[in-house]
Every structure is written in C-alpha cells, then in structure tokens.
Amino acid sequence: MTDAFKPFPIPVRMVGPGSHVEEDTLDYMEMPRGMDTYHAPALPEPEEVAGLDAAHAALRATRVALAGLRADIAAGAPATSTRSIDLTGLDDANRALINQVLGEGEVSARREPAGDRPGLRVQESVFAGIWRVLGDDGSDAIEIGAIPAGLHAAAPLDRAALGRLTAEAAPIYAGQLMNAPHILAEVSDQLMLHRAGRAAHVINMTLLPLNPADRAFVDERTGAGPVTLLSRGYGNCRIGSTDWPNLWRVTYYNSQDAVILDTLEITAMPEAALAAAEDLADSEERLAEVIDWLGSAA
C-alpha cells in the first residue's frame, strides 16, 4: 500500500442551494420605493383664523358639495361628474387659509391654452378628489370629483381622420419599422370601438420589441395633446393626452426616473389619474374633521 492517494478519477461537485457562487449577478431594475399616503395638513389654531369667514364658508360648501356629489353618483350619475366652488372673489388672507387646509396631493396637471380655451393649472389637494383649479384667465375654483372636467378631451373623435394613424410611413422609415404599424392599427381599431363607460384598452409597449424607429413613428403619429398629468402615488406616473381624443400615453418611472412601464391607453381618462369612490368617502370624513377643528373657536 502506498502512502500517497491516487487522483480521484471523477471530479466531486457540490450541489444544492448555496453550493456554488455565480460569476455574474442579476441586475434587477430598481422599482419605486416610496408611496405617498395621506398626511393631515398643518392647521392653524382655530382662534387665529376665526375671522376668515369667506374661507370657512368655502370649506363648508366644499364639504356639502362632496356629500352631494357622492349621493348623485350613488343614484346613478356618471362617475366623472364634478361640482365646483368659486374662489375668485377671495382676498389673500382667506385664500391663504384654503391653500393651507387643502395642501398638495399626489396629482398635478396642466392644460395648455388652445383657441378660445384658456390654459389650466390643476393641483389635487391632500383630500383625494378635491382639486384646486386655476385658469390663465384668472379663474380660481375648488373642483370636487374624480378628475376636473377641464382635463377631459374637448373635441369628439374625427373618425374620418383616423386613416392618418395607419397611413404609409415616410421614406425615412423604409426598412426600419417592426411593430409600430401593428400598434397603430390596433389603436385605430380601438378608437373606433370606444364608447363611454367601456373598459380601457391598454397597449403595453414595454413588452413589445420596438426599435428607436418604431418609437419615433408611434410618437409622430399619436402626437402630443394639451393635457399633461403627473401622479406621484407609487413612484411617478406621467399621463399625456395625444392628438386623438380618448388616446393617452401613460408612462411609469422608478425612483431613478427610469421607465418601468410605457403604455397607450384608449379610455376617457386613465385610471391612474382618477380619485376612486372610496377616496371621495375618505376625503369627506377627513375634511369634516378639519372643518370641525377650525370652527371650534366659534
């Protein structure tokens, strides 16, 4: 017998979890980390604002309008119905109290002016479904509802013009397009089928093999409309109208501003921008608590 061990003819390999080290690590895309939740506004002491009657009246009117809107919707009114409270005549002190109470919520929006329509600036308050709407013409209002009415597409769909979506591409795209023509054909078909109350049709472009020419062609044919919304609920979501009523571009970003989901939605308004019915119920309860607090010095 020799003292030396002979080389073992078959290599021994450990198997099972943790038994080997990967040379390459998986590089996962960063997902959104934070989620905005309701934070009660920083309120003044009741005695500090006891004389601001116009602001108190506007807040009470908002509460009444919210309750009335919820009752209307429960009775069958469209879920997109709205009510508004005019603030145009308020002085700076009363307007400042309203600004403090309402605060800034998750969704902000801009509608660019077009023709005789003034531009709009919209900010959701910390009470979901209660919006501050400022017009370039000097108008100022609180609007209550799932989304302010002024952010909806104003013009009906020109069905005869839909052929522009699927028309032959310009020579600069020759030999470059893969899936863009199919996407635009689907968009055209779904715009023709869309009716009020119909579920949204979503085209997830993130999952499709699209080259730069495809994306440029889709952008060119869909265009950019006058309405842009930014929702900051879970990560960031940018919602933009297009040249076509009821067609929206909805893009989600992670905390590093990298695109994690890019879609085209055929709907009256993407769900990501809307305050839900339960949001309106919560806001009515929370607003009532604030109004009671502010009125406790009376």
Condensed to tens digits (0 to 9), the pLDDT of residues 123-155 reads 999 999 999 999 999 999 999 999 999 998 667
**Do 148 and 163 belong to one domain?**
no
Looking at the domain assignment, is residue 36 inside a domain? no
In a domain, residue 6? The reply is no
177, 262: one domain: yes
Same domain, 143 and 189: no
Q: Are residues 172 and 257 in the same domain?
A: yes
Within this chain, do residues 163 and 263 fall inside the same structural domain, yes or no? yes
CATH number for the domain that contains residue 84: 3.30.1370.140
Q: Is the pLDDT of residue 36 over 80?
A: no
**Rounded CA gap, 238 and 108, in Å?**
10
Q: Are residues 204 and 130 in the same domain?
A: no
For residue 11, is it within any domain? no
**Where residue 10 falls among pLDDT bands split at 50, 70, 90?**
very low
Mean pLDDT over all residues of the chain? 86
Res. 46: pLDDT tops 80: no
> What pTM did the predictor assign?
0.81
Q: Which two tokens stand for residue 101?
A: 């109470």
Let me know if residue 242 belongs to a domain.
yes
**Domain identity same for 51 and 81:** yes
Question: Are residues 55 and 201 both part of a single domain?
Answer: no
| C-alpha dist (Å) from residue 197 to 72, 85, 132, 156 | 17, 27, 26, 15
12 band by pLDDT with thresholds 50, 70 and 90? very low
Look up residue 96 and give its amino acid: A
Same domain, 105 and 168: no
Query: Does residue 45 or residue 140 have the better pLDDT?
Result: 140
Question: Would you state the pLDDT for residue 157?
Answer: 85
Q: Is residue 92 part of a domain?
A: yes
Whether 28 has a pLDDT exceeding 80, the answer reads no
Closest CA to 195 of 138, 123, 267: 267
Query: Which residue from 210, 206, 215 is spatially nearest to 178, judged by alpha carbons?
Result: 210
Between 185 and 295, whose confidence is greater?
185
Give the whole-angstrom CA distance, residue 31 versus residue 90. 43
Q: Is residue 202 pLDDT above 70, yes or no?
A: yes
Structural domain of 252: 159-268
pLDDT tens digits for range 221-278: 999 999 999 998 767 899 999 999 999 999 999 878 889 999 999 999 999 899 999 9
Residue 13 domain-assigned?
no
Distance of alpha carbon 194 from alpha carbon 197, whole angstroms: 9
Give the pLDDT band (50/70/90) at residue 37: low
Q: Are 165 and 254 in a shared domain? A: yes
What percentage of the chain has pLDDT greater than the value 90?
Answer: 67
262, part of any domain? yes
pLDDT score, position 152 = 84
On whether both 101 and 235 belong to a single domain, the answer is no
Does 112 reside within a domain?
A: yes
Total domains present in the chain: 2
pLDDT exceeds cutoff 90 at 27: no
